[in-house]
Structure 1
Amino acid sequence: MAPTAGGTDGTHEADGADGTDRAGERLEEARALLAAHPVFDGHNDLPWALRTQVRYDLDRRDIARDQSAHLHTDLPRLRAGGVGAQFWSVYVPTDLAGDAAVSACLEQIDAVRLLAGRYPDDLRLARTADEAVAVRAEGRIASLMGAEGGHCIANSLATLRALYRLGVRYLTLTHNDNTDWADSATDTSRHGGLTRFGEEVVREMNRLGMLVDLSHVAPDTMRDALRVSAAPVLFSHSSARAVCDHPRNVPDDVLERLPANGGVAMATFVPKFVLPAAVAWSDAADEHLRAHGLHPLDGGERAQEVRRAYEAAHPRPAATAATVADHLDHMREVAGIDHIGVGGDFDGTPFTPSGLDDVSGYPNLVAELLDRHWSEADLARLTWHNAVRVLRDAEAVARAEQARRGPSTATIEQLDG
């Protein structure tokens, strides 16, 4: 993979006057930094990709070997990318509801456990910040879980608690559609943010120590959650709306509130969320998939073939590592260095930026930021320390809340009926 460190167009910095390869030096510096301060990534959809491609048959997708023909993620490339901890998304599409959504979420959790059990020398489940730090110190990749889409709790706080006991450490309040208690960024507003039951979901997550993930939610839902949450919130895979005006990104007024809350916004790499020119192209590509009877989020082989054919006929605007760095520059300026991270969304998007083609690409992003004069201390916060801190702070809030009150027995019928 060619490094993309250099100017804001993602090209290589010119060789120095003495003939040195400055881009190559930056890349080596980036790799050394990640060896000391690895990536704690907020969102990876490998479990869903394994479900759609091979129905979790790990013999057919043995990630101990190079799977670049099929996936963005495998163990050799995670190691090459300097990943020390990963939130694996236990995603459920919104066309599943009720018991079907809960069952699919449980199957996704089981898939993460299968991965950790099959590859114990590389992956180990972690439930707390201290466990994540310990796993990384052992030379393994700490594996945590985040449930993407509040519909997977089927309007049940008891189900929420069960997911926590199974190891889920964040819940994304919505996916692309509204839930019965929260508005999504990509649906028509129905609640004006969070309903009373939605607020109770946030409070119960605080009591458990489960991070409130605000990626995918509408701006009013973000603001309501920040008002209600006693614990730091998370944006597991969202970039800056001021840089790319897409509803999946975070407005500046919300970024400005993160320091008071203690939360972290983790920039995503999805081209249509980071590059304005890619938005219209992605919409057209999605319509092309629908015309072939396929869902835009389909990760199956047929969907990949249709995407490749469309891209061959209609070259897509190319995001780069520098495009993502533009978002991080802005997010650092608005929210502050202690409140940003990275959430690549690998295997949850069909297209990736040049230089961030897969999970081995993180050194290219770090090299780009080094060229922009980010310090080692700031990069260490970005890649590792902020994510660990927000998890640890949520655990501290949970201890205080559990000393003060017991589990909520509220229902959506009681609060919103």
Structure 2
Amino acid sequence: MKKFLIPSLYLGLLIACNSPEKTIDYTQMSDEDRLAAAKEIAHQTIMVDGHVDLPYRMKVGGFTLQREILDVSVRTPDGNFDFPRSKEGGLDAPFMSIYIPAGNQQIPGASKALADSLIMMTERLANTFPDKFAMAYSPADIEANFAKGLISLPMGMENGAGLEDDIKNVEYFHQRGIRYITLTHGKANLIGDSSYDSLRPHGGLSEYGEQVVKEMNRVGIMVDLSHVSDDTFKDALAITQVPVIASHSSARKFTPGFERNMSDELIKAMAENGGVMMINFGGSFIDSTYAAGQAKVREHIVNWLAENNLSRRDSAAQAYIAEYAAANNPFPTVQKVADHIDHVVSLVGIDHVGFGSDFDGVGDSLPTGLKDVSMFPNLIAELLKRGYSREDIEKICYKNIFRVWKAVEDFASSQQ
């Protein structure tokens, strides 16, 4: 329970517990002291992020042992994730997104081939830097890696198109280490309809998609309902026998008309299922004002480039674009992300929310104060300021997603 709901009673109960740690009232601290406390919590607590797009960033940037290309074992000049910044922010287990662009769906075999290559790339990262990274296939693996000071690399497949049209690939990808599958991405696929796609060929899940959800339950892969249409979401909930997740979604209340985010109805349905919604940090996901401003800025820049006969690659254009965007499309702040967490908690309680940043996947739209993985303590400090307890923070950081993950594991074990 959040302290600000019943502050005097809550504080009295804490004092009665005779635990010095539990008597801390973070709301009464200075901002400086609260941030220090947030950093301590971040480093002492396992922190899971439901969605980080590092594998595809490595594919685009080129991953080799040559540091001049891309080596995230050291601090990198761009992107949102690398080992030093992850350690600074206290992020211990970023789910590596095995991202399959919708365009790959047009070429038979291309989606599965890309998934395999991104999995191998992630494994290579762990094998190349075993003193920094380690693969993780269960909550127990993450706990063991955390004790060793290693960053865990669990994997989730973003876009079930990687399964192609073969149900046997569900078990295949479980064996390859995939622990959640986002059923769709930007376009409808063989499994179901996408929130981003105006075409709805299945009206929700397809018959094949129903088989996929059941098979994911059987083998122990979490069902991820980020990106799917509302009808696909409801169909999946009706079929699954275990809790589901939304690995990187935010609340539609703050972005009316944006189906990619979750409505209050869907948030409540997910909570009834026992699932967890992991909040996306992207600007257009958390703030409709930012999304509208972004569209206006984009239109202005396109016109300005044409009028001045410049391309985005020109240095003069880059300087103007950066200056104009900063002046005319203010970024949301870390407080906006906390607002989404507050909303989920007010609807369904603290047990159904987590972090799903979409770092390395949402470009430069990230909020002020949450520009990369080193800045997680800023969000934790904001939550402490709003009255969240340390136990609340631990649930958001890992206990909620671990609960779902273990439930999926247990069900799969019972089916063997």
Match for residue 66 of structure 1 among 71, 75, 79:
75
1:338 aligns with 2:346: no
Give the alignment's Cα RMSD to 1 decimal: 2.4
Q: CA deviation at 1:82?
A: 0.4
4+ runs deviating over 3 angstroms: 55-58, 281-291, 301-311
SS at match of 1:185: coil
1:76 aligns with 2:84: yes
Seen in structure 2, the aligned counterparts of structure 1 residues 64 and 210 have a Cα distance that, compared at 3 Å, is same
Deviations 1:112-145 (A, max 9, x none): 1011111211211111121121111222122100
Any residues of structure 2 matched to 1:6-405 within 5 Å, and which?
Answer: 22-54=30-62, 59=67, 60-67=69-76, 69-97=77-105, 98-188=108-198, 189-245=200-256, 246-283=258-295, 310-315=321-326, 316-351=329-364, 352-402=366-416
Seen in structure 2, the aligned counterparts of structure 1 residues 290 and 107 have a Cα distance that, compared at 3 Å, is farther
Q: CA deviation at 1:280?
A: 2.2
Seen in structure 2, the aligned counterparts of structure 1 residues 273 and 307 have a Cα distance that, compared at 3 Å, is farther
Seen in structure 2, the aligned counterparts of structure 1 residues 322 and 303 have a Cα distance that, compared at 3 Å, is farther
Aligned partners of 1:304 and 1:125: how far apart in 2?
41
Aligned partners of 1:102 and 1:284: how far apart in 2?
38
Q: Percent identity between the aligned chains?
A: 35
Q: CA deviation at 1:178?
A: 0.8
Aligned partners of 1:397 and 1:31: how far apart in 2?
36
Structure 2 length as normaliser, TM-score? 0.85
Computing the radius of gyration from Cα coordinates, the structure with the larger value is 2
SS at match of 1:131: helix
Q: CA deviation at 1:290?
A: 9.5
Residues 43 and 89, structure 2, Cα contact 8 Å, conserved in 1? no
SS at match of 1:147: strand
Q: CA deviation at 1:180?
A: 2.3
Q: CA deviation at 1:322?
A: 0.3
Aligned partners of 2:219 and 2:37: how far apart in 1?
40
Structure 1 length as normaliser, TM-score? 0.84
Which structure's residues are more often helix, by fraction?
A: 2
Seen in structure 2, the aligned counterparts of structure 1 residues 385 and 283 have a Cα distance that, compared at 3 Å, is same
- Structure 2 unaligned blocks of 5 or more: 1-27, 304-311
Q: CA deviation at 1:66?
A: 1.4
Aligned partners of 2:87 and 2:343: how far apart in 1?
29
- Structure 1 unaligned blocks of 5 or more: 1-19, 292-300, 403-417
1:6 paired residue number = none
Deviations 1:226-264 (A, max 9, x none): 111011111000011112222221111111122331110
User: What is the letter of the counterpart of residue 232 of structure 1?
Assistant: P
Q: CA deviation at 1:190?
A: 2.2
Aligned residues, how many? 374
Aligned partners of 1:170 and 1:343: how far apart in 2?
13
2:16 paired residue number = none
